[in-house]
Amino acid sequence: MKKRMSKAERQKELKKKLSNDPFFTDEELTNIFNVSIQTIRLDRLELGIPELRERVKNVAEKNHSKVRSLGGKEIVGELIDLELGKSGISILETTEDMAFEKTNVIRGHHIFAQAESIAMAVIDAEVALTGVANIKYQTPIKSGNKLIAKAEVVRQRGNKYFVHVFIYESQKQVFRGKFILVSMDKE
């Protein structure tokens, strides 16, 4: 059996873990450190580390200002990483109102909207439109799950951007999209 860390060691490790990846939930941290959820919450409080929702919001606010093609409110999900012209990541917390009542499965247009908005956000253009979208839904998603979308600009030809978007739920790919976005910027 593994020896328990002292409070100071645990807090030091907790701080390090969350500075490397601010998206760990308290539940995931309880499993990592083998302590109760109350212990993790008290440690975060003592260290001045906000809860997950606040950490995500802080990261998202830093990235929204980089986006050129969309207004901040037009991005579906929280934009957590953006390298304009290269790649981006967003997180969407799914809710019951996004799902069909009978099955609790998230409606496809919410997933598509997350994919399209991260594809738009990642390109380096003032105004852009989706020219082509080749998409595939691979697994139904139930409400309450967190979707992580990763977009990458794979090439640019003239005013066309070719962007691949993959959406994951619990590290399993559930959607993929290949977009051709057309920049409408005046030359």
End-to-end alpha carbon distance in the chain: 65
| pLDDT attached to residue 80 | 84
Cβ-based neighbour number of residue 115 at 10 Å: 29
- Per-residue tokens: 119: 């594809």
DSSP assignment letter at 94 = -
Least confident of 6-10, 112-116, 139-143, 165-169: 6-10
Ramachandran assignment for 10, one of left (phi > 0), alpha (psi -120 to 50 degrees), beta (any other): alpha
| pLDDT attached to residue 63 | 61
CA distances from residue 7 to 25, 107, 150 in whole angstroms, order as listed: 19, 44, 36
Band the pLDDT of 61: cuts 50, 70, 90.
low
Least Cα distance to 139 among 177, 179, 164, 167 occurs for 167
Per-residue pLDDT at 9 exceeds 70: yes
Per-residue pLDDT at 2 exceeds 80: no
| pLDDT attached to residue 187 | 52
Strands 172-183 and 160-169: antiparallel
Per-residue pLDDT at 1 exceeds 50: no
Cα torsion through 52, 53, 54, 55, rounded to 10: 50
- Per-residue tokens: 41: 């919450």
Domains with residue ranges and CATH for the chain = 7-49 (1.10.10.10), 55-183 (3.10.129.10)
Segment 83-100 mean pLDDT: 93
Per-residue pLDDT at 186 exceeds 70: no
Segment 16-24 mean pLDDT: 81
| pLDDT attached to residue 155 | 95
| pLDDT attached to residue 27 | 87
| pLDDT attached to residue 99 | 96
Percent of the chain, pLDDT > 90? 58
Dist. CA 128–CA 160, nearest whole Å = 9
pLDDT digits (tens, 9 = 90+) for 114-159: 999 999 999 988 888 999 999 999 999 999 999 999 999 999 999 9
